[in-house]
């Protein structure tokens, strides 16, 4: 009995027989091909981005003269009575629109109910006419309609496509006055070194 109790104190767990991971053989050519594709895709995206940044629209440009603080309108103070009047007016308008919407929905539901009733009567009267009534009329598609636009066209308007030449990068790459002076000094120093070198060589030969 004591031996049985001693063996009960031992605990075992399920053996973990996980499969060993296979070593992935890295091919140098495959890695180079992947890097080449990534570089090509990156160049294409950069080219598309450069084309997008060169397009400007006149309507989106802001006139900075309008952003002056002196041109800002002062905030008008509204009295408490005016606030109450506007709040009550807004509530009355909300009730009116809610009633108008409910009446419109009831009218639409009534028209649909009458339509179903008429189709049911037509089905009992003549199945052929019923099938013709529920079929789609393909003669109305494609539908083309023309009407007044929100902004009428301007006569003899010269439309600009929006392509401009971005010279920001060129201006950034242009050297400053200090950089020009440093470059000239380096050039003069190199010329002086070459001159001294030629003098030393001529002295050694003599």
pLDDT per residue as tens digits for the range 76-91 = 889 999 999 999 999 9
Tokens linked to 184: 């000239």
Gap between the Cα atoms of 193 and 183, Å rounded = 15
Gap between the Cα atoms of 6 and 133, Å rounded = 89
Question: pLDDT per residue over 150-197, tens digit each?
Answer: 777 778 877 666 555 665 655 555 667 777 778 888 888 888 888 888
3-state class of 200 per DSSP? helix
Q: With left for phi above 0 and alpha for psi between -120 and 50, is residue 33 left, alpha or beta?
A: alpha
Gap between the Cα atoms of 80 and 205, Å rounded = 105
Question: What is the separation, in whole angstroms, between the first and last Cα of the chain?
Answer: 116
Q: Which residues, at least 6 apart from 183, have a Cβ–Cβ distance to it below 8 Å?
A: 175
Q: Which residues, at least 6 apart from 164, have a Cβ–Cβ distance to it below 8 Å?
A: 54, 55, 56
* Helix 80-125 with 127-134: angle, nearest 10 deg: 140
Highest mean pLDDT: which range of 19-33, 77-91, 117-131, 164-178: 77-91
* Residue bearing the bigger pLDDT, 69 or 15: 69
- pTM comes to 0.34
**Is residue 54 pLDDT above 60, yes or no?**
no
């Amino acid at each position: 009995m004591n031996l049985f109790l001693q063996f009960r104190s031992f605990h075992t767990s399920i053996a973990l027989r996980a499969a060993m991971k296979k070593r992935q053989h890295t091919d140098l050519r495959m890695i180079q091909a992947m890097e080449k594709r990534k570089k090509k895709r990156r160049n294409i995206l950069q080219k598309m981005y450069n084309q997008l940044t060169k397009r400007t629209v006149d309507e989106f440009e802001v006139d900075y003269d309008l952003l002056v603080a002196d041109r800002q309108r002062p905030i008008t103070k509204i009295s408490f009575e005016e606030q109450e009047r506007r709040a009550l007016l807004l509530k009355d308008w909300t009730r009116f629109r809610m009633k108008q919407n409910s009446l419109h929905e009831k009218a639409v539901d009534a028209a649909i109910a009458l339509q179903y009733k008429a189709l049911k009567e037509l089905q009992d009267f003549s199945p052929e006419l019923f099938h013709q009534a529920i079929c789609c009329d393909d003669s109305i598609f494609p539908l083309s309609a023309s009407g007044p636009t929100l902004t009428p066209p301007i006569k003899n308007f010269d439309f600009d496509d929006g392509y401009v030449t971005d010279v920001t990068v060129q201006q950034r790459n242009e050297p400053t006055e200090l950089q020009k002076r440093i470059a000239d000094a380096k050039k003069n120093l190199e010329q002086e070194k070459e001159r001294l070198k030629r003098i030393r060589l001529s002295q050694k030969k003599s």
